[in-house]
Amino acid sequence: MYGQPEQEDFTMFKHYLITAWRNLIKNGLFSGINIFGLAIGLMSCILILLFVRNESGYDQWFEGSEQVVRLHSGFHMPNRPPFDTVRSSGRMMEAIKAFASNEVQSGARVVQQGLSVQKGTDVYPQDVSMVDGSFLDIFPLDFIEGSLETSFKRPMDMLITRDLAIKYFGRTDVVGETLTLCCVASNPVTLPVSGVIQNLPENTHLNTDLLVYMQPRIFADSPNILESWGSLNVYTYFKLRQGATVEQLQERVNYWLNNESPFKKMYEDNVGELPSGMQISDHVKLRIMPVSDIHLHAKAHAGSMGDLTPLGDYNMIVTFVVVAALILLIACINFMNLATARASQRAREVAMRKVLGASRRQIALQFLGESVMLVIIALLFALAAVELILPFYSQLLGRELHLNLLGDLSLLATLLGLAIMVGVGAGIYPALFLSGYKPAQVLTSTKGAESSGSGKLRIALVIFQFAISVVLIIATLIVYGQTRYSTNIDVGYRYDNKLILNVFYAQDRLDALKQELEKLPQVKQVVYTSDAPTQDRENNRGYKLLASSDGKAGQPDAQMLNYYSTDYGFFNAYEIEPVAGRVFDPAYGSDKVIRPETLGQDISNASAIINQSAARRFGFNDPQQAIGRTLEVSLYENQIHHLTIIGVVPDVHFRSIKFSIRPSIYLLREDRFNNANIVFSGHDIPTLMQQVEQIWKKVVPMQPIYLDFLSEMMAAQYAEQATTAKLFGAFSLLAIVVACLGLYGLAAFTAERRTREIGIRKVMGAEVSDIVRLLVWQFSKPVMLAILLGWPVGILLMRHWLQDFPYRLDNWWFIPVCVLAGLLSLLVAWFTVGGNATRVARRNPVHSLRHE
């Protein structure tokens, strides 16, 4: 007896399922549009969801990860663009560990170096993480061979991951085997493998597959790595004590910075007296960030140099989550609109069911069931589409994303929950609307029981959909335009026909290399520099303008300038003409900065070229005034150099225009050369590349070659932005497609309802074109209104977005962009409605007039 009601429920359920299915089949257009639209909306959501899950799960893979933080640094000096980095100086770790011993349990530094591994005659580029022994206390790695106790105890102990062991040895039991690294402190070293660890997961910010227990002595010749306060070359991690918070440590660090650290003295030496009311922590930033925040939030601290692995972009993720939700919303609106638009078709069914005793609740549930069923079918299509698109999507984003529903029950549950939410969300209004019909009204009237209210709501929703589309089109165009603007801006020099060869590991062979390279028929010129465009480091020093011998005043305070080292011929090669004075010239013989034999003795002399920003900083309104003046600087420990300004060059965009131009100085300092700028002519690029590689192999046999086209390096600066533009374009397109699907359906249903009227008009002499115009115009009004609404929103949003770019599109660009976005939406709407309208208008009116 107890089974009875359930039995009945089940029969009812089955009955509803069957009716739902039949309705689905019967209303092909309605079902098709909704399934397709919802599938696109769900697909967008799933794609974004996968990305978000991947991005937000970083660095939580190890025990105690919530207690691990990293120290980020920044110099925010007066009158200079701020300099930020996720790295820190080598002495910071010990100092903070000692001062904040109540908060910090342990600390470790990582010196990340791009070295090479030599196997036989092959040379492989290899990133090497030199770490303090305490690194493994902070990041507990799993050992496959060896153990924490035995394998990482002595300096120069070396761990490699499983993948690396297989790459270099073809197996994993390789403890005792050796690898030759090149180069550690300018010398190749051969180290035995002391342990093999499990591969690190994909979602970590660490780029660690080869670790070496750091022997501080090996950096004795490069004191700026471990022994410096001001050079930011290491990554510093701390593990907090149980109960200590990030905020406590941050407070402690700030206290240390303002009261105990050597930065106050450094500031006074380099910049001058600290203005009253200011603290050191206003200028020097030491910021503590939990490692699990690094991937999504470190971008704000990372400046121009990035991190160990490419960082995620929190703002971009939020943006795309919103966009995906909007696409789904548009699809839901389609469902609501179409369901109510064809309501009159189903009014009779509802009335009959009510006459036969169905309650309003039962009918509402029936309609809800239908919409959930539709959404679940759409979900299946969406999953299939995601499966197809995922490889391309992963590639575009540079992430490895997987869809594994069965192995990931939380994802499955999320998706099912989403489907039901969408089904109910989209179905609730039509369900209430349809179930509210009064049987008597419907069965006695011959016309559809359509209220004008639901018609108005439909139009309002169409306006909303198209307003979103217009905003998305504007956003896409502006992102695209800004990317074009960035790549096409006049950087102030020629970057075509140049190859950049990294010569960091060929310091002792620069002359031989240059000689060989310049013998090549296609090579016009080889110039050494510290930095090539796009890859510049922050190199700051204080330069003090001295009074001139003829009585012109100097400046009391030093100015912080960024400095580049360039060889003779640099300005020539890049076609940068000085605006005053001359460029470096061997004929003068006095331009070079030379490291004196003994330090701290006499003052040394050399020449300097400054850019116009620097000239202004020194108070020269006319660049000519700078020529012949002297700057004082300390380039080698306590050694004083006097630099004579021999030329002023224009401000050029040496790095991405995401950053503004800094006051800069160019010195001819050979011990800083890292790059060969190879200027070539001719078109046989493959041969040229081959020849350069051969020369490299001959001159520097131990090192892998790093050779790039400058033009490609320039383009790569904007690759991320270009990806954003592409994604935006794709998602906007999807949004518009879904909106148009809805419009198409709505137009089709409306035209269906108006067939008699259309017939009458045709009999009255209307031509096909008149009818098409009538139907198209009906939907042009809401779309135009949507455009008017979308414009201000799009303009506001995108002006905000552009704020982040120091060099950006002019405001007048919004005019063509808005006009284009408007025209595009209108045209798309016309096409959508027009095709169907033409079909309807061509119909012979006789039929519709007779069968009314």
Partner 1 sequence: MLTLNHVCKSFQTQDVETLALNNVTFDISRGEFVAIMGPSGCGKSTLLNIIGMLDTPNSGDYYFMNENVATYNETQLARIRKKHIGFIFQNFNLIDELTVAENIELALLYHGISEQERKHKVADVMDKVGIAHRAGHRPSQLSGGQQQRVAVARAVVGNQSMILADEPTGNLDSSHGEEVMKMLEALNDEGTTIVMVTHSPEHAQFARRTINLFDGQVITQNVRAA
Interface with partner 1 (CB under 8 A), residue from 321, 760, 784, 789: 760
Query: Which one, 119 or 842, has the nearer CB to partner 1?
Result: 842
Minimum Å gap between C-beta 844 and partner 1 is 6
Beta-strand relationship, 232-240 and 88-89? antiparallel
Which residue is it, tokens 């509402």? 364
Six-digit token string for 485: 């603007």
Minimum Å gap between C-beta 758 and partner 1 is 10
Give strand pairing partners of 677.
500, 527
* Residue 446 binds partner 1, judged by CB under 8 A: no
* Residue 458 binds partner 1, judged by CB under 8 A: no
| Per-residue interface string for the shown chain with partner 1, residues 398-437, x marking contact by CB under 8 A | ----------------------------------------
* Residue 52 binds partner 1, judged by CB under 8 A: no
Distance of CA 112 to the CA centre of its chain: 22
Dihedrals phi, psi of 280, to nearest 5 degrees: -60, -35
* Residue 768 binds partner 1, judged by CB under 8 A: yes
**Would residue 829 be called left, alpha or beta, if left means φ above 0 and alpha means ψ between -120 and 50 degrees?**
alpha
Interface with partner 1 (CB under 8 A), residue from 190, 767, 815, 827: 767
Q: Which stretch binds partner 1 (CB under 8 A): 73-81, 229-237, 247-255, 767-775?
A: 767-775
* Residue 456 binds partner 1, judged by CB under 8 A: no
* Residue 782 binds partner 1, judged by CB under 8 A: no
Minimum Å gap between C-beta 752 and partner 1 is 16
User: For residue 223, which amino acid is it?
Assistant: P
CA distance 755 to 760: 9
DSSP-based three-state secondary structure for 609: strand
* Residue 844 binds partner 1, judged by CB under 8 A: yes
CA dihedral 587, 589, 591, 596 (to 10 degrees): 170
* Residue 772 binds partner 1, judged by CB under 8 A: no
DSSP-based three-state secondary structure for 127: strand
Minimum Å gap between C-beta 6 and partner 1 is 46
Query: Which one, 331 or 766, has the nearer CB to partner 1?
Result: 766
* Residue 751 binds partner 1, judged by CB under 8 A: no
Give strand pairing partners of 113.
128
Query: Which one, 683 or 851, has the nearer CB to partner 1?
Result: 851
* Residue 355 binds partner 1, judged by CB under 8 A: no
DSSP-based three-state secondary structure for 633: strand
* Residue 72 binds partner 1, judged by CB under 8 A: no
* Residue 444 binds partner 1, judged by CB under 8 A: no
Which residue is it, tokens 């089974």? 3
Minimum Å gap between C-beta 369 and partner 1 is 35
Radius of gyration from C-alpha coordinates of the chain = 35
Minimum Å gap between C-beta 744 and partner 1 is 23
Query: Which one, 111 or 841, has the nearer CB to partner 1?
Result: 841
Residue 183, preceding bond cis, omega within 30 degrees? yes
Exposed, middle or buried, 755 (CB in 10 Å: 0-12/13-18/19+)? Answer: middle
Query: Which one, 713 or 760, has the nearer CB to partner 1?
Result: 760
**Would residue 493 be called left, alpha or beta, if left means φ above 0 and alpha means ψ between -120 and 50 degrees?**
beta
Query: Which one, 210 or 766, has the nearer CB to partner 1?
Result: 766
Query: Which one, 447 or 800, has the nearer CB to partner 1?
Result: 447
CA distance 634 to 667: 13
DSSP-based three-state secondary structure for 480: helix
In this structure, how many other beta carbons lie within 10 angstroms of the beta carbon of residue 460? 13
* Residue 459 binds partner 1, judged by CB under 8 A: no
* Residue 846 binds partner 1, judged by CB under 8 A: yes
Minimum Å gap between C-beta 764 and partner 1 is 5
* Residue 761 binds partner 1, judged by CB under 8 A: yes
Q: Are 566 and 527 in contact (CB under 8 A)?
A: yes
Give the containing element (helix H, strand E) for 555. Answer: none
Query: Which one, 622 or 767, has the nearer CB to partner 1?
Result: 767
The footprint of partner 1 (CB under 8 A) covers: 447, 756-757, 759-768, 770, 842, 844-846, 849-850, 852
